[in-house]
Amino acid sequence: MASTILVTGGDGFIGSHLIEALVNRGEDVRAFVRYNAFNSWGWLDTVDDEVLENVEIFLGDVRDPNGVREAMQGIDVVYHLAALISIPYSYHSPDTYVDTNVTGTLNILQAARDLGIDKIVHTSTSEVYGSAQFVPITEEHPLQGQSPYAASKIGADQMALSFYRSFDSPVAVIRPFNTYGPRQSTRAVIPTIITQIASGRRTLELGNLHPTRDFSYVEDVARGFMAVADADAAVGEVVNVGSGFEISIGDLVDLIAEAMGVEVTVETDEERTRPEKSEVDRLYADISKAQELLGWTPDHSGREGFKQGLGKTAEWFSKEENLQHYKAGTYAV
C-alpha cells in the first residue's frame, strides 16, 4: 500500500531525485519547497510533467513550526532533507545554520511526535566525521565538527536521535557521503570541474587537490533513502551510504577530463580553499551496515562504477539547456 510522503528540501538536488524515485514507485508525495517570491520550485521546475503532476507542492520554511505542522498533516513518512549545506557560507553566517539545520529539524521532530508520523528519515552528512581517524569510516567513528556547517549537522543528528531515545520516535538517520550527479550545485567539486570544462575552459580554478572523498551517485543515494524508510530495523540507527571507493580531488580532475575527452591544467584559487584546520582531508565510507541492515548496495561502486556515474553527470551538465542554469567558473559559495 502506498504511503503519503513528505520530502522536505524537495526542491533541491538530492530531494528532486528522491521525489522522482518515490513517484516512480507509486508513492503519494508532497514536496516541502522553501517559499520564495519568484514562485520557483527549484529543481522540481525541471522534472518531467509526468512526475510533477503526481506531486503536491507545499511552500514554506522549516524554521517556522506552524508551516511545518501544516505540511505534515496527513503524512505517513517524512524524508527530512531541508538544510543549508554550503561550508564556506557557514563561515560567515553560522546563525542561519543553527536556525535551519538544528531548529528546523527540531520543528520536524516535534510535529512528527504530535501527529504520530510512522517514520522520519533524517539526513546527515559524512562531514560530521571530520578527517578520517580510521578507514573505512564506520558509523561508530568519532564526530568532529570542522566547520559551522558540520557542527550544525551534528547537532541536528543528535536532536533526531534524542527523540528516538526520549520519546521512542521512529527516527532513522541516513548519512550520505559526497553525493554527485545531475542538478548538483557548483559549490560542489564535481559540477565545478565539469561546468568549467563544458564552458570551454582548459585551465581550471579549484581549491585543495589532496583531500580524498567517497563519491556516491545520486540515484544510489535516493535508493538508500527509500531503503532506510522501508526497514523497521533502521529505526534508532545511523546508516552510512557511500560507494566504497576513495579518490583524491587531483585524481578526480584527471578522471573527469578523460571522460570529457580533454586535457586540462589546474590553478589553485585561494578563495576556494578551506582554512587549514577546517579542511576534511579524508572521507571513505564503510557501507557494510547498509548492506546488512537494509540489503542496499550501490550500483555505481568502485572505480568503474564511479566512471559510469561521472559519464552520465558530464553528459547532463554538457547540454546547453542544463549548463545555462550555472555561472560556470564563478565561485559558488
Any domain includes 104: yes
Which pLDDT band, with edges at 50, 70 and 90, does 330 fall under? confident
Question: Which CATH number does the domain housing residue 253 bear?
Answer: 3.90.25.10
Same domain, 262 and 139: no
Q: What is the mean pLDDT of residues 295-309?
A: 96
Same domain, 163 and 25: yes
Any domain includes 290: no
Transcribe 81-118 into DSSP letters. ------HHHHHH-HHHHIIIIIIHHHHHHHHHHHHT-S
| Nine cell digits for residue 88 | 564556506
Which pLDDT band, with edges at 50, 70 and 90, does 331 fall under? confident
Question: Structural domain tally of the chain?
Answer: 2
Any domain includes 329: no
Any domain includes 255: yes
3-class DSSP string for 52-74 = HCCEEEEEECCCCHHHHHHHCCC
pLDDT, tens only, 37-61 = 999 999 999 999 999 999 999 999 9
| Nine cell digits for residue 28 | 503519494
Question: Which CATH number does the domain housing residue 31 bear?
Answer: 3.40.50.720
Any domain includes 328: no
Could you tell me what percent of the chain has a pLDDT over 70? 99
Which pLDDT band, with edges at 50, 70 and 90, does 3 fall under? confident
Any domain includes 160: yes
- pLDDT exceeds cutoff 80 at 329: no
| Nine cell digits for residue 145 | 565538527
Same domain, 93 and 145: yes
Any domain includes 331: no
pLDDT, tens only, 102-161 = 999 999 999 999 999 999 999 999 999 999 999 999 999 999 999 999 999 999 999 999
Contact 119, 172 (CB under 8 A): yes
Same domain, 237 and 314: no
Which residues constitute the domain of residue 50? 4-179+216-241
pLDDT, tens only, 228-265 = 999 999 999 999 999 989 999 999 999 999 999 999 99
Could you tell me what percent of the chain has a pLDDT over 90? 96
Read off the pTM: 0.97
| CA gap 129, 146 in Å, rounded | 9
Any domain includes 294: no
Per-residue confidence (pLDDT) for residue 332, from 0 to 100: 83
Q: Quick one: which H or E segment has residue 277?
A: none
* Chain mean pLDDT for the chain: 96
Respond yes or no on whether the N-terminal peptide bond of residue 191 is cis (omega within 30° of 0): no
- pLDDT exceeds cutoff 80 at 2: no
Same domain, 170 and 33: yes
Q: What is the mean pLDDT of residues 175-195?
A: 97
Look up cell 561508530; give the residue: 140
Same domain, 107 and 207: no
